[in-house]
Amino acid sequence: AHAVSSEQLLFLEAWRAVDRAYVDKSFNGQSWFRVRETFLKKESFESRSQTYDAIRKLVASLDDPFTRFLEPSRLSELRRGTQKSSVTGVGLEVTFTEGSGLAGSLLKVVTPAEGGPADRAGVRPGDVILAVDDKPTMGISLYEASDLLQGGAPHSVSRVRRAPGPPFLLPLTPLVHITRLSELVVIRPVSYALCSGVKPAVGLKGESGGPEGAGDVRVGYVRVSTFNSNTLEGVTSALKDAQAAGADGLILDLRNNGGGLFPAGVQVAKLLMSGGDIVLISDSAGVRDIYTADGTSSLDTRTPLSVWVNKGTASASEVLAGALKDSGRGVVVGENTFGKGLIQTVVELSDGSGLAITVAKYQTPAGLDINRVGITPDIRLPPDQLASGGSAVCEQLAGPAAPRVFG
């Protein structure tokens, strides 16, 4: 028998972490024990870099873009990221297109950061990134993409293609060019505006009787761009302002919200729901956890609520939209959401590196599996029929062509 080296022990630690936690117990149709033995026999473990390469190959065999290896610096960066209020780069959140395995996939835009270089250039959810700095994106990892899209010299260029159909039918449309400046993209998770003089066509009747006369319809517009450590405080403040102003309705705008901290999305749901299930968590053995609202954190459970979504609404924001829809608390307006319903946990390894492992799936209170399906709106409106930004939304709601956005 041969002694197991310290490098092999680290590899085995990573293998066990996946074995215990991964949601798919078929491990992408592989015998996970046989995979372990094959790697130990065929891979080199003479250095830490070789061990890291073996672990990367191990998780790549799962063909899951969200289960990934994190070097120590990546793990530290991931933990800091949930606290960030700004980032330097073009301002894009990306995932993979569906192709023949990860090696045959391209990068797809989940959402552009509001006001960032990509947003200003017209990049939209669903666009496909063909190349960054003339480097093709097919087969690269999300971390490599992050390095390319963030920071860097002002002369580099990202090339993006609008994707109206299957991503591999090239070329379909001209490329969009984004000059990637070293620009600080500020992350403002919540913004608020009070809209007065809202037309009855939106589906509300005025009860506030504001300064513009009895029956003046007011709507509190709450835009949530991401879920981070500051989101709950921002939404709480916005809801209190809307209550103080006597708003007749609320709009919760989750368009182009790619998710973020799952607990923050649950906390926002608790502000708006008097009770009931928020989300079901299911793994390979079925439903294993249920998050519920018990009314103790409620702030506004009665004001009519319109929840705006689009293709860039993903993950934690889909959980929130699904909870508000299934509970009957709000009417969902817009287009089908992105469909990212997988949950990852981060496991730290003994040397300071780690693994992000897909451990479960989200289901709405009605039992809908969000992943690759998304949330279907109650009122379907194309993107060009809903304004963006507080002042533009208020102007639209008070204008002659105000859309119906309340039930």
Answer yes or no: are the C-beta atoms of 142 and 95 closer than 8 Å.
yes
- Catalytic pick from 108, 270, 311, 340? 340
Task: Name residue, tokens 């891979």.
Answer: 43
The per-type count for the chain, helices as H runs and strands as E runs, is: 10, 19
CA distance 23 to 16: 14
Gap between the terminal Cα atoms of the chain? 71
Q: Would you call 340 a catalytic residue per the annotation?
A: yes
Answer yes or no: are the C-beta atoms of 159 and 180 closer than 8 Å.
no
How many CA atoms are closer than 13 Å to the CA of 139, on its beta-carbon side?
A: 4
For residue 18, give the H/E element and its range: helix 6-21
Task: Name residue, tokens 């009895």.
Answer: 214
Q: Would you call 41 a catalytic residue per the annotation?
A: no
CA-wise closest residue to 318 among 367, 259, 274, 366: 259
Residue ranges of the alpha helices (H) in 23-141?
32-42, 48-60, 72-81, 117-120
CA distance 392 to 394: 5
**3 state DSSP class of 11:** helix
To the nearest 10 degrees (0 to 180), the angle between helices 48-60 and 6-21 is 20
- Catalytic pick from 315, 317, 327, 353? 315
Answer yes or no: are the C-beta atoms of 359 and 343 closer than 8 Å.
yes
CA-wise closest residue to 224 among 256, 177, 269, 184: 256
Task: Name residue, tokens 């289960």.
Answer: 67
Task: Name residue, tokens 């730290």.
Answer: 348
Answer yes or no: are the C-beta atoms of 326 and 364 closer than 8 Å.
yes
Burial 318-353 (b: 16+ CB within 10 A, else e): bbbbbbbbbbebbbbbbbbbbbbbbbbeebebeeeb
- Catalytic positions, written as ranges: 315, 340
